[in-house]
Amino acid sequence: MIRRALKDDTPCTATWPITGKPCRHLPMPGLDVCEAHHPDGDQRVPPPSEEIRCTGTNRESGERCRRPHRPGGKVCNKHGGNGANARLGAQKRVTEAKLATLASNLVGNPVGNPLTELSKLAGRARAWMELLEDRVQTLLDEEAAASDESDGKADGKKERGIRYRGAAGEQTRAEVQLYERAMGQLGTLLTAIARLNIDERLAQITERQAEAVIAALEAGLTAAGVVDPGQRTLAKAAASRELRLVK
């Protein structure tokens, strides 16, 4: 690691080629120049590969940084990779990369009835929205409790509630944003279901399936030699009861 010269130290005698400013690093032992200006200095600490190399530049030399960037980020800690927004962005990209890897190995089963699957999806979307709704209500209750505890004092810093103060000012909590997004997604699904008349179509499919089963039962009774109308009626009634249980 190249260290910067202190007040009483003799700095490197070289200058930066782009800016022309004198170097302020400590020279290498027994030499007048630092590792960055030594002819073989760059060979001692080779830069990382382009995939993980920091995209920042040295303000003095104008050269690209030789450090690796933070996992999931684009710059190293020295060039802002340790900031709150940068850490959150890097964490998000790392998570997305892991999920993408898992998704690439998934082997799904074919969807038998897309109408039924869409109805199930709408049910899960509603359950997710209701879960977030409960969380947002809890945050609102916490905010109301914090307001009561402050007794009108304006110097208290609100950390509870649907908003908080971050580096960029007042921010809305992620739960609120997710809740709003969930409402929009559920609304889109319900609109699609309404346009497709899914309930009516599912009812028609069920009726056709029941008719097909009864027709198959009729053929089976005929092949078995059951010709008594009473016995045939009892058999069809029993089949209808079983079909209602399956629904």
Does 111 reside within a domain?
Answer: no
Does 192 reside within a domain?
Answer: yes
Do 179 and 232 lie in one domain? The reply is no
DSSP conformation letters of 99-110: HHHHHHT--PPP
Do 192 and 125 lie in one domain? The reply is yes
How many other CB atoms sit within 10 Å of the CB of residue 213? 16
pLDDT at position 42: 46
Do 166 and 236 lie in one domain? The reply is no
pLDDT at position 127: 92
Q: Select from 10, 9, 6, 15 the least CA-distant residue to 36.
A: 15
State the residue range of the domain holding 185.
116-151+158-196
Do 190 and 237 lie in one domain? The reply is no
Does 216 reside within a domain?
Answer: yes
Mean pLDDT of 133-143: 85
DSSP conformation letters of 176-220: HHHHHHHHHHHHHHHHHHHHHTHHHHHHHHHHHHHHHHHHHHHHH
Does 238 reside within a domain?
Answer: yes
The string of pLDDT tens digits covering residues 212-241 is 777 787 788 787 787 788 887 887 777 767
The string of pLDDT tens digits covering residues 53-94 is 888 887 777 788 877 888 888 888 888 888 877 787 888 888
Tokens of 4: 């910067």
Total domain count, the chain: 2
Does 16 reside within a domain?
Answer: no
State the helix-helix crossing angle for 114-150 and 198-223, rounded to 10 degrees.
140
The answer to whether 54 touches 81, Cβ cutoff 8 Å, is yes
The answer to whether 53 touches 63, Cβ cutoff 8 Å, is no
The string of pLDDT tens digits covering residues 110-129 is 767 777 888 888 899 999 99
Does 140 reside within a domain?
Answer: yes
Do 123 and 185 lie in one domain? The reply is yes
The answer to whether 122 touches 190, Cβ cutoff 8 Å, is yes
Do 179 and 205 lie in one domain? The reply is no
Q: H-helix or E-strand containing 164?
A: strand 163-166
Do 212 and 191 lie in one domain? The reply is no
How far apart are the C-alpha atoms of 117 and 96, rounded to whole Å?
A: 26
Do 138 and 206 lie in one domain? The reply is no
Does 23 reside within a domain?
Answer: no
How far apart are the C-alpha atoms of 192 and 205, rounded to whole Å?
A: 19
Do 127 and 144 lie in one domain? The reply is yes
pLDDT at position 199: 64
Give me the percent of the chain exceeding a pLDDT of 70: 75
Do 176 and 210 lie in one domain? The reply is no
Does 241 reside within a domain?
Answer: yes
